[in-house]
Copies of this chain bind each other. A is one copy, B any other.
């Protein structure tokens, strides 16, 4: 790997675990086995390096249309839940990173935030659409409001994932909680 990529990779790991301020360029240089001066040659200053790291980190944050198409209406809801869950578990480190950015008064470039929020909103709308389609097909109870209920499902899912992210043991496993979520928040809404 070339030096530039090595720096970027090392910095990504360090920024994500220690945050912006607590990550010194001396440490990045040492871990990447390059001189501090080389970091400045490639990225000009610490902030530019940070932005390059953010750009690299957010890269996989997108919805692939082919993955959500083609299901029968009732299965779509559970499938969307699975997709969300899979995405977060596949990107634990960066999700944890972004969540901690949301919580801190840290360096938080607004364009990255709005991109994460847009993605979240998109997901919620897909979920609401599937719920509404299910209602219209007479599968789900007409009592629920699709928008409100999709927000609740995502919130619950986030809660489960935060629990997994913070490494709380001794509670039920994430998989089991998601199963319970589907049972209570999806299956129980079916018209008998």
Chain A residues within CB distance 8 Å of chain B: 17-22, 96, 99-100, 102-106, 117, 120-121, 124, 147-149, 151-152, 154-160, 162-163, 165-168, 170-172, 176-177, 180-181, 184-185, 188-189
Main secondary structure of the interface of A (DSSP, over half): helix
User: In the complex, which of the residues A99, A120, A184 has the most CB atoms of chain B within 10 Å of its own CB atom?
Assistant: A184
Q: Is the CB of A180 within 8 A of B22?
A: no
The answer to whether A155 touches B177 (Cβ under 8 A) is yes
- Cβ-defined partner of A103 (8 Å) among B117, B120, B166: B166
**A176 touches which of B17, B148, B162, B171 (Cβ 8 Å):** B148
B104/A17 in contact, CB under 8 A? yes
Q: Which residue of B lies closest to A120 (CB)?
A: B168
**Residue in B22, B167, B172 whose beta carbon sits within 8 Å of that of A151 in the complex:** B172
Q: Closest residue to A180 on the B side, CB-wise?
A: B152
Q: Are B106 and A103 in contact (CB under 8 A)?
A: no
What's the least CB distance linking A109 to chain B, in Å?
16
Chain B, Cβ-Cβ closest to A157: B159
| 11 residue pairs from A and B, CB less than 8 Å apart | A17-B105, A19-B19, A21-B21, A22-B22, A99-B103, A100-B100, A121-B170, A121-B171, A152-B177, A155-B177, A159-B160
A110 smallest CB distance to B (angstroms): 12
A170-B156 Cα distance, complex, nearest whole Å: 17
Residues of B within 8 A of A100 (CB): 100, 103-104
CB distance from A75 to the nearest CB of B (A): 20
Closest to A149 in B: B180
B171 adjacent to A106 (CB under 8 Å): no
